[in-house]
Amino acid sequence: MRIGFVGLGRMGRGIAGRLLGGGHELAVYNRTPEKAADLVAAGATAAASIAMVCERREVVVTMVSDDAALADVAMRAGGLRDALPAGAIHLVMGTHGVAIVRELAQAHAAAGQTLVAAPVLGRPDAAAAGQISIVAAGPAGALSRCEPLFAIIGRRTFVAGETPEAATSIKLANNFVLGCAVEAMAEAYALVRRHDVAPQVLYDVMTDGLFAAPAYKIYGKIMVEAGYDQVGFTTRLALKDMRLVLAAAEAAGVPMPSASVLRDRLVGAIAHGDADRDWSVLAREQARAAGIE
Amino acid sequence: MRIGFVGLGRMGRGIAGRLLGGGHELAVYNRTPEKAADLVAAGATAAASIAMVCERREVVVTMVSDDAALADVAMRAGGLRDALPAGAIHLVMGTHGVAIVRELAQAHAAAGQTLVAAPVLGRPDAAAAGQISIVAAGPAGALSRCEPLFAIIGRRTFVAGETPEAATSIKLANNFVLGCAVEAMAEAYALVRRHDVAPQVLYDVMTDGLFAAPAYKIYGKIMVEAGYDQVGFTTRLALKDMRLVLAAAEAAGVPMPSASVLRDRLVGAIAHGDADRDWSVLAREQARAAGIE
Amino acid sequence: MRIGFVGLGRMGRGIAGRLLGGGHELAVYNRTPEKAADLVAAGATAAASIAMVCERREVVVTMVSDDAALADVAMRAGGLRDALPAGAIHLVMGTHGVAIVRELAQAHAAAGQTLVAAPVLGRPDAAAAGQISIVAAGPAGALSRCEPLFAIIGRRTFVAGETPEAATSIKLANNFVLGCAVEAMAEAYALVRRHDVAPQVLYDVMTDGLFAAPAYKIYGKIMVEAGYDQVGFTTRLALKDMRLVLAAAEAAGVPMPSASVLRDRLVGAIAHGDADRDWSVLAREQARAAGIE
Amino acid sequence: MRIGFVGLGRMGRGIAGRLLGGGHELAVYNRTPEKAADLVAAGATAAASIAMVCERREVVVTMVSDDAALADVAMRAGGLRDALPAGAIHLVMGTHGVAIVRELAQAHAAAGQTLVAAPVLGRPDAAAAGQISIVAAGPAGALSRCEPLFAIIGRRTFVAGETPEAATSIKLANNFVLGCAVEAMAEAYALVRRHDVAPQVLYDVMTDGLFAAPAYKIYGKIMVEAGYDQVGFTTRLALKDMRLVLAAAEAAGVPMPSASVLRDRLVGAIAHGDADRDWSVLAREQARAAGIE
């Protein structure tokens, strides 16, 4: 398939590499062209602009960092909406807000194009190995056309429905549930520390039983070791995600008190200088609130 | 070992049955004597009072429903504190508050007895099968003496430290983390439902990845099916637990905003008539808050 | 009228002094008898026990510090319930929980006595000057009999209904609303301080307009001046009050998220060493949460 | 002074009328020109565009409904930033977010113009009568030049500092404190209603004492009477304000848990169909949460 790809951060490069390795004809574009070098060496075409990366493509994937970047590549003059051929698909794989996905889907529809939202779950190394999961939503025909790509990119695809925001909401909900687990552990560790219990014991209890899952094993471990400088996901990015969650909730008429609690602790952690640490540093922020640290 | 057992609810009967099956000499007491019948048929002695169940015992286990019941069996005139032989152990296996465990430990110590707190994790059927987990704390010597019992009762013992409240705080923290997971799912399902996504899709995403653990599989499933009348743990009991968590947090100087969120939703669910449904009915309460139900 | 009075703290002495000055025959009792000295010098009789302070009384007032003290003077053997003549009134003027007021009202009713709840609003100096307000609830006949006393004690009486807990709930609700105002100012000051605004400007704006009332003038001023060591009402007592509010809310099926927010900040303030400062120190606790102090 | 005025809603017309009555030369612009009719009849000049309303003006006032409208009139091509003469002042009197005020102030400074933020407190009728209050911030020289206008517009001016956002933050903080009072009353009324107390009694207690101020008298009264269809300020607009508060708090690193509580109740009220009722309808939303309505 003739595919364009915009956004060559770590996730983007992993996914683009999979597509290229799967035998597709790939044109790539990144604001900083150096990041395209490895892909070009492996056979991709470097496009000099958004317009060029859209030329004669059946699908153009975007994997950009936030809503502002998505608006910039897709909605400004010369962006995807202007440049994408009629009938083509804009496959949005980044994590975005519900509002922009809805707005952009309408803009593409008006131009005879189709937006498919397909945010992913997993880390860059999983992306490079084709081991991420994909949550996809969009018109059924367009989803079918993307299926061969999903099969190369990830290990499993969850179909959320025909409206792209459905996939967005699932992705945000999943991140929110993770954030609640992190916050819950942060509070729980503070409680047991104040009762003179070694955090490791709570970790063992949790992960042996009801919570024998990566969310608790990964972030619970970092908290026990206070290893917040090995960063998987920063506090700052977590706050960005919670902002998207709260905006989606507000737009849909859903009070989400746990999201607000999480948001407040993230704001506090940033106020205390932990913006660029791993977001499990919420355990330290919670400890501060309890007068421990 | 000569063991006494007070509190023959479903959990209590399961544990007592294990002890009896393990070859120990067991005297049992329950306010409603009928519940002792099976154990007596299997060889246990029925005691007519707390005082008699304590006679010449090395260890007396209590597994009672709440702090008031524990105070009643242990602290009133003629209770365990009065009746237990010097040198004997009161093994507290129920889920109780930090304050009463601390107070009772001191009372026993003053009487030359020892309190070991050993709350358990697991359901009645797991108790009957010796498959529960135990979180134990108390003086090292007393813990050693209890170890053979723990080996019969459960599949794993986590030692939390030398002060009994340490075990209490771990148990409460674990229940709290579970409550947060339930509340998080409740909010997340409301969010995706309002975006017209079938809850099953979120369930699949969550339990395939970061949350592939019983907490999410069990309670997430009930929420998807709205099967709140198959009750594992009632809303009312969950509120009792959160009360214990908040009291422990307050006593220790730990603000726990997520516990308050959870508490408020439980209070709301009860106000809406769901006190005796499974506490995963929080998903319905959350849906009400979003104007869905 | 033949009146008994139990509890001679600062509020109690002020109210008892008014009753004595109003020409009533007063017997007084306090655990620490010295506090009765001035009243005895002014004509009151010192009673040596609860039983004696109840002898031949038409009304016995209690003004004690908390629920435990009320249970102690009223419900234990030899307490008011045992000693009060049939037909007499127990006038409960302290701030107590809904549960104990209800339970005690039933106990008195069973003994042919009547409980009237009449918590007061105002400081000790206002009590001594007869300038406090009274919120009263109880059976209509009993209320009528207390009216002459209320007229001497306070400047205004609000009748809340026939069930004593009604008055309790009003008093708790009023304290809660005050706590929310204090917490709101604490958060608001943090917000403007972080925008480099002198807190005095916000104080001027608030108290000139919508909030030209004592709640904001008194506590807002303390916050502007950081004068937390001049203590009107301690953080510790405020937490006790919020505990009563939350218990009343829980019993009645009312989620009160603002009470939980307030409670958490109070817990945090205490964890940071501010238990015995004026509760407006919440502004400092809030500043800590924002990384300012 | 030669003054331009953009935004002739009810507040804008009141303020513009005061300026005209004060003898200033006034050019006015509104998207819907009909709203300028009365002012033009009274001597103002109708401008056909933003550019024309800026022509040869010393000060141009904007009083527009939200950040999007402000961006539209001020920052797009042909807007105030482009059209205002060098040395002129953009006097921003609407309630806006901290971020846009900061950004716009910088844009004006780069163009040799000055932004003064001067949000106001009060209702349209007070504006027409010159009885509103003004919170002003901006460079000292510019503030001096605006003083004669403030003297005509309002009854009192509070100077918040030299950076425009300072005034913004005060205005938002004041609205937030008001919101907390409304939410507190909503929760308090639910509590006493569940204890069978007539809301009027709580109203009387509150407004007689600590809360004898407009915030409580106005909104407390509406709640007692359930008169939510007489709309002073809608739930929808209140949510917009809280969004601005939370954004300002996040940008400044201030967790504001009470703002989140308020936000969630507003979202819930809107989900239940009360978007266009007076925001004191939070009392009804809170009652719903308690299973009363």
Instruction: Give residue B94's region: left, alpha or beta (phi > 0; psi -120 to 50).
Output: beta
- Look at residue C209 in the predicted model and tell me its pLDDT: 85
Q: Could C197 and D258 be called an inter-chain contact, meaning their C-beta atoms sit closer than 8 Å?
A: no
CB A256 within 8 A of CB A269: no
Of A113, A190, D245, the C-alpha closest to C264 is: A190
Contacts 24+ apart (CB under 8 A), D241-245: D241/D95, D241/D172, D241/D175, D241/D176, D241/D179, D242/D176, D242/D179, D242/D266, D243/A250, D244/D67, D244/D95, D244/D96, D244/D97, D244/D98, D244/D172, D245/C191, D245/D172, D245/D173, D245/D175, D245/D176, D245/D179
- Look at residue A30 in the predicted model and tell me its pLDDT: 94
Residue of chain C whose Cα is closest to the Cα of D262? C258
Q: Residue B209: is its pLDDT beyond 90?
A: no
Token digits of residue B158: 């986590």
Average pLDDT on C18-25 reads: 96
Q: Could C121 and D209 be called an inter-chain contact, meaning their C-beta atoms sit closer than 8 Å?
A: yes
Q: Could D265 and A255 be called an inter-chain contact, meaning their C-beta atoms sit closer than 8 Å?
A: yes
- Look at residue D181 in the predicted model and tell me its pLDDT: 98
Taking the C-alpha atoms of residue A262 and residue A274, their distance in angstroms, rounded to an integer, is 15
Question: What confidence category does residue D293 fall into, taking pLDDT thresholds of 50, 70 and 90?
Answer: confident
Which residue is listed with tokens 């109070």?
Answer: C266
Q: Could A135 and B205 be called an inter-chain contact, meaning their C-beta atoms sit closer than 8 Å?
A: yes
Shortest Cα distance, chain B CAs vs residue D232, angstroms: 24
Q: Could B184 and A170 be called an inter-chain contact, meaning their C-beta atoms sit closer than 8 Å?
A: no
Taking the C-alpha atoms of residue A211 and residue A8, their distance in angstroms, rounded to an integer, is 35
Q: Could D255 and A264 be called an inter-chain contact, meaning their C-beta atoms sit closer than 8 Å?
A: yes
Average pLDDT on D162-172 reads: 97
Q: How many CA atoms lie within 13 A of D170 on its CB side?
A: 31
Residue numbers in D near C174 (CB within 8 A): 188, 202, 205-206, 209-210
Of C156, C184, C245, the CB nearest to D177: C184
- Look at residue C151 in the predicted model and tell me its pLDDT: 97
Taking the C-alpha atoms of residue C145 and residue D284, their distance in angstroms, rounded to an integer, is 37
Taking the C-alpha atoms of residue A80 and residue A200, their distance in angstroms, rounded to an integer, is 50
Q: Residue D209: is its pLDDT beyond 90?
A: no
The DSSP line for B194-207 is: HTT--HHHHHHHHH
- Look at residue C188 in the predicted model and tell me its pLDDT: 98
Which residue is listed with tokens 């517009």?
Answer: D153
D268: Cβ contacts below 8 Å, ≥ 6 apart: A253, A255, B289, B290, B291, D285, D288, D289
Residue in A256, A258, A272 to test binding to C, most C beta-carbons within 10 Å? A272
Percent of all residues in chain B with a pLDDT value above 70, rounded to a whole number = 100
Shortest Cα distance, chain A CAs vs residue C269, angstroms: 9
Residue of chain D whose Cα is closest to the Cα of C288? D254
Residue of chain D whose Cα is closest to the Cα of A236? D250
Of B271, B273, B291, the CB nearest to D290: B271
Residue of chain C whose Cα is closest to the Cα of D265? C257
Q: Residue C195: is its pLDDT beyond 90?
A: yes
Taking the C-alpha atoms of residue C84 and residue A58, their distance in angstroms, rounded to an integer, is 91
Q: Could B290 and D273 be called an inter-chain contact, meaning their C-beta atoms sit closer than 8 Å?
A: no
Taking the C-alpha atoms of residue A158 and residue B205, their distance in angstroms, rounded to an integer, is 7
Question: What confidence category does residue C279 fall into, taking pLDDT thresholds of 50, 70 and 90?
Answer: very high
C148: Cβ contacts below 8 Å, ≥ 6 apart: C1
Taking the C-alpha atoms of residue C70 and residue C83, their distance in angstroms, rounded to an integer, is 15
Domains and CATH numbers, chain C: 2-162 (3.40.50.720), 169-289 (1.10.1040.10)
- H-assigned helices in chain A: 10-21, 37-41, 50-54, 67-74, 80-83, 98-110, 124-128, 140-153, 164-194, 199-208, 214-225, 235-252, 257-271, 282-289
Instruction: Compute the C-alpha angle C35/C41/C44, nearest 5°.
Output: 80
pLDDT tens-digit map of C43-99: 999 999 999 999 999 999 999 999 999 999 999 999 999 999 999 999 999 999 999
Residue type, C275: A
Of A40, A34, A108, the C-alpha closest to A73 is: A108
Question: What confidence category does residue C276 fall into, taking pLDDT thresholds of 50, 70 and 90?
Answer: very high
Of B122, B194, B254, the CB nearest to A194: B254
Taking the C-alpha atoms of residue C156 and residue D204, their distance in angstroms, rounded to an integer, is 11
Residue numbers in B near A254 (CB within 8 A): 187, 190-191, 194, 289-290
This prediction has a pTM of 0.96
For residue A61, list its beta bridge partners.
A5, A91
H or E element: which one contains B157? strand B154-161
pLDDT tens-digit map of D10-25: 999 999 999 999 999 9
Q: Could B270 and C255 be called an inter-chain contact, meaning their C-beta atoms sit closer than 8 Å?
A: no
Q: Could C272 and A291 be called an inter-chain contact, meaning their C-beta atoms sit closer than 8 Å?
A: yes
C-alpha distance from residue B163 to each of B59, B73, B118, B206, D259 (Å) = 18, 21, 11, 37, 40
Residues of C with CB under 8 A from a CB of B: 239, 243, 249-250, 253-257, 260-261, 263-265, 267-268, 270-271
Average pLDDT on B227-231 reads: 95
Residue numbers in B near C249 (CB within 8 A): 267
Taking the C-alpha atoms of residue A1 and residue A58, their distance in angstroms, rounded to an integer, is 7
CB D166 within 8 A of CB D118: no
CB B228 within 8 A of CB B280: yes
Of C206, A256, C64, A41, the C-alpha closest to B194 is: A256
- Look at residue C150 in the predicted model and tell me its pLDDT: 98
D89-92/D114-117 β-pairing: parallel
- Look at residue C111 in the predicted model and tell me its pLDDT: 97
Which residues in chain A land under pLDDT 50?
none
Shortest Cα distance, chain D CAs vs residue A73, angstroms: 20
Which of these is catalytic: A35, A171, A217, A240? A171
Q: Could B163 and A196 be called an inter-chain contact, meaning their C-beta atoms sit closer than 8 Å?
A: yes
Residues of A with CB under 8 A from a CB of D: 239, 243, 249-250, 253-257, 260-261, 263-265, 267-268, 270-271
Residue B249 phi/psi, 5-degree rounding, is: -70, -45
Taking the C-alpha atoms of residue A133 and residue A148, their distance in angstroms, rounded to an integer, is 14
Residue numbers in C near A272 (CB within 8 A): 291
Q: Could D181 and C176 be called an inter-chain contact, meaning their C-beta atoms sit closer than 8 Å?
A: no
Q: What is the mean pLDDT of chain D?
A: 97
Residue numbers in B near C270 (CB within 8 A): 253
Of D213, D255, D265, the CB nearest to C290: D255
D61: Cβ contacts below 8 Å, ≥ 6 apart: D3, D4, D5, D6, D7, D15, D16, D19, D91, D93
Residue in B267, B270, B272, B288 to test binding to C, most C beta-carbons within 10 Å? B267
Per-residue three-class SS string for A245-285: HHHHHHHHCCCCHHHHHHHHHHHHHHHCCCCCCEHHHHHHH
Shortest Cα distance, chain C CAs vs residue B121, angstroms: 27
